[in-house]
Structure 1
């Protein structure tokens, strides 16, 4: 007779087995759903640091105003009040500038000798401490009708000069508000605003430039050029560029190229000169000279924009060579030097040998060219000013500049360049940050590293700080901050890490991992139902 099985024991064992199954299901669900899925999500998520999107959007409402301090040094208080009122009315509705006028009575210790135009800059420097961006309007008791603009930051005028004339000089020579507005609008809305000649000619903003001076000798056997390029650069070019060191870093390089003939054939024109002819090079063909030169200059070896200056020695077979305008007239009156400028590239100067040397030279003899150094360097530096954004002042009636020092810039020209570069750099930085923010919002799987995030935040802060310094009248610091903002924004926009996961979107991530997770997920998800029933019954029985 068999033993009788206790039903209580069977029920107890069944309950223990069911309890272990429930615990096992819970452990599997916790491991997969609580640890596995979050770990997978974290390891496959795109790294994206938080960005100040609100601050970047607010740049659209950032109104950049440059405060200009005008110091009126006048002989009498009544005259000071009148000029202050006239200048205030003239600059009342400016869009870029906020003009502050401070009037002072000229010190009584100044003598008639001090009021001579040759001493005016010295008087201004010793009696008025002007910072970068400030301007001095000084009335003199000297007897002359002309208005003189000094090398420092002063305009010197007679008691007969009115405020409208002074406002015109300030607007067209120093402040150049129209050019600043056009630069700002053309960068922001290029489809609506077209650049003028000055903006199309000027090199884009950059923290550094290379200045490459090249002498081209197409026939070294019959043509010798007697010139020390290094000495010339150290004597003239580097001191000139040192005045602009605040705006950018300049690196001056020089080289010689040989056996590089012109790619176009100049037209032979008979004349009554010693050689009985000269050669004409029409303006229309000048752009065709740039491409073959560019191939040989090696100007692409640097990451910085290169400003090219080419000195082309013309052999006697094509000399004298002259550039002709589209109307058929000579463009220059100098017999031995002809030049042209290519916007955002550089300038070319043709130096002709003397007519006597070519006439006396025999077929087997070489001719030596000794360049007119002052003329050639003066041409190059004039072209360099245009390429950097310092245009020649428009002629104004009875307005002259003081006698120039050799190849030097006016301080007010440098200030004007800083203003236009500041507006250009701030506008470019703002547009770059806004474009980058829109891109990162639209494409959610682009990596945003800590480095990129810090650069964006730094650029935003620098733009705001620059605008504050400009509004306070600190042009120097405002410009330096705008340059840093421009560099930081460009570095963030061109960072290679932004493309790290651009071609691995979310749908592909799910397509790869779901076939792996789904077979394991189905039993776990179904076991959740049994877990719920188990605890529901326990709650009812309790």
Structure 2
């Protein structure tokens, strides 16, 4: 009886130990599988903000549309109606351009105006011609077929045809050929155009290579504040400009100058060949100190020619002198322009005779007029054309012609929209293909903001709201560039999933072996407990 009781007691103890082992194994498995694995998965996953990928990839599905209002004023109502009808039909099937041609009916105040300038002033105010719009004004006594003013207007003769007006609209006002180049999908045929940046450094540098003999006098700060600063203020819709000036000494031109005999008082001048111009930029660029900021720089250089090689004149590839407005200058696209300020022949004649330092004053008006022209060309605002019967009035102001500048704004809007769209689509493709790139909140906000502003820019451009479209497109361009070049995108670029598994598997494999073996032990313990229960029942 006592042996049987002892036997039962030892079996009960064994059963209790098996239960503890079962519970311990199950607890271990629960901690590893239910707690450990999800925690590892969560802590090692790549944080990626949700993005409107499908919407961004479909940005190119809806082409850009450009709306604008073009008004026609004629003294005869029937002629104005005919011009509006013909021009409307000419643009009826155009997918890019949506110009709205409207007629301004003759009214008493306009009919009584005696001068074209007075008529232009009245019509610009009464017809609500806003930024991006244009008006053609009939003036019977005009010599040219079309005379473009400095405002958003052009004068036309009574016999100017709709075909001529369309030619002016396409080539000068809308600049349709340049828009097609920007939007051309075939990159081999398209002209590579860089979108305007939001900030530029404009650096005016005066180079005096021989200060020992050339005592040049020039208040360059006053000249810049009088000419360049007001101009940049007028063209600040697209970009912001930081204007600085500096003097540099002992920086000679490293070029092959050839002496040419002439009939001047000095009896000679020096020829600077067009092929040597790039070498000059290379020789002085490293000493200008314009690479200390991240902003792109526009260099405007004035070179004070020493009397021992003065005057220097630029010769083109046809070996002809290329002096413009009595000043020699040249432009290097995307870099800047150089103006050669030759001292007066009388001053250099005295130097050659007495070998004394030369004191002379730089002609501010001549130099700054050329500098303003260079700046317009570098910013791609100036429009040069040669159309029979079409002329522009002489520019008598520092600011560019309004229709030229607004054509530049329109091109910039399209470039910003196209560039931002391409940037976002390229970024989305990259992020979709490489799943382990981090997309933090900052990058996600930039992408979402750029996408929303692109939609608004397209809508504003189609509605003819040029300045609003410019603001939206500029914001979209900045946001897309910020997202694309954000440093956080590279945080795990060189830590792919394969490398992650290669690191974590050696760590987790020793832990998972007991987990796997625990399944076998649990199965045996459960089977043993079941059998013991059956024996007790029996």
Of the candidates 319, 339, 343, which is equivalent to residue 329 of structure 2?
339
TM-aligned CA deviation for residue 385 of structure 1: 1.1
CA distance in 2, matches of 1:539, 1:169: 98
Of the candidates 387, 398, 410, which is equivalent to residue 419 of structure 1?
410
Who is 1:448 aligned against?
A: 439
TM-aligned CA deviation for residue 303 of structure 1: 1.4
Of the candidates 513, 516, 520, which is equivalent to residue 525 of structure 1?
516
Does the aligned pair in 2 maintain the 1:274–1:355 contact within 8 Å?
Answer: yes
Does the aligned pair in 2 maintain the 1:121–1:151 contact within 8 Å?
Answer: no
SS of corresponding position for 1:250? strand
Of the candidates 382, 386, 393, which is equivalent to residue 395 of structure 1?
386
CA distance in 1, matches of 2:149, 2:268: 45
Does the aligned pair in 2 maintain the 1:338–1:350 contact within 8 Å?
Answer: yes
CA distance in 2, matches of 1:48, 1:316: 66
Gaps of 5+ in 1: none
Residues 327 and 402 of structure 1, relative CA distance in 2, 3 Å threshold: closer
Greater shift in the superposed pair: 84-93 or 465-474: 84-93
Is 2:466 the partner of 1:466?
A: no
- The equivalences for 1:460-539 within 5 A come to 460-532=451-523
Of the candidates 241, 244, 249, which is equivalent to residue 235 of structure 2?
244
TM-score, with structure 1 as normaliser: 0.93
Residues 363 and 531 of structure 1, relative CA distance in 2, 3 Å threshold: farther
CA distance in 2, matches of 1:326, 1:95: 42
CA distance in 1, matches of 2:266, 2:104: 64
Gaps of 5+ in 2: none
CA distance in 1, matches of 2:379, 2:367: 18
Does the aligned pair in 2 maintain the 1:115–1:142 contact within 8 Å?
Answer: no
Does the aligned pair in 1 maintain the 2:256–2:276 contact within 8 Å?
Answer: no
TM-aligned CA deviation for residue 501 of structure 1: 1.1
SS of corresponding position for 1:331? coil
Q: Deviations over 1:289-347 (max 9, x none)?
A: 00121111111122111100000011111111110011111112644x20000010000
Who is 2:124 aligned against?
A: 125
Aligned-residue RMSD, C-alpha: 2.1
Does the aligned pair in 2 maintain the 1:115–1:141 contact within 8 Å?
Answer: no
Q: Deviations over 1:48-103 (max 9, x none)?
A: 12221111111121311110111122223311221012212332343421111111
SS of corresponding position for 1:110? helix
Who is 1:45 aligned against?
A: 45
TM-aligned CA deviation for residue 3 of structure 1: 4.5
Who is 1:34 aligned against?
A: 34
Who is 2:359 aligned against?
A: 368
- The equivalences for 1:143-542 within 5 A come to 144-185=143-184, 189-190=186-187, 192-195=188-191, 199=193, 204-332=195-323, 334-335=325-326, 337-361=327-351, 362-532=353-523
SS of corresponding position for 2:70? strand
Does the aligned pair in 1 maintain the 2:15–2:529 contact within 8 Å?
Answer: no
Who is 1:24 aligned against?
A: 24
SS of corresponding position for 2:495? coil
Does the aligned pair in 2 maintain the 1:139–1:159 contact within 8 Å?
Answer: yes
CA distance in 1, matches of 2:324, 2:337: 18
TM-aligned CA deviation for residue 418 of structure 1: 0.8
TM-aligned CA deviation for residue 534 of structure 1: 5.4
SS of corresponding position for 2:183? helix
CA distance in 2, matches of 1:519, 1:144: 95
CA distance in 2, matches of 1:506, 1:346: 48
TM-aligned CA deviation for residue 120 of structure 1: 4.2
Q: Deviations over 1:263-295 (max 9, x none)?
A: 113100111211111110110010000012111
Does the aligned pair in 2 maintain the 1:172–1:393 contact within 8 Å?
Answer: no
Residues 126 and 98 of structure 1, relative CA distance in 2, 3 Å threshold: closer
CA distance in 2, matches of 1:234, 1:539: 99
Does the aligned pair in 1 maintain the 2:182–2:190 contact within 8 Å?
Answer: no
Residues 143 and 491 of structure 1, relative CA distance in 2, 3 Å threshold: closer
TM-aligned CA deviation for residue 499 of structure 1: 0.6
Residues 539 and 77 of structure 1, relative CA distance in 2, 3 Å threshold: farther
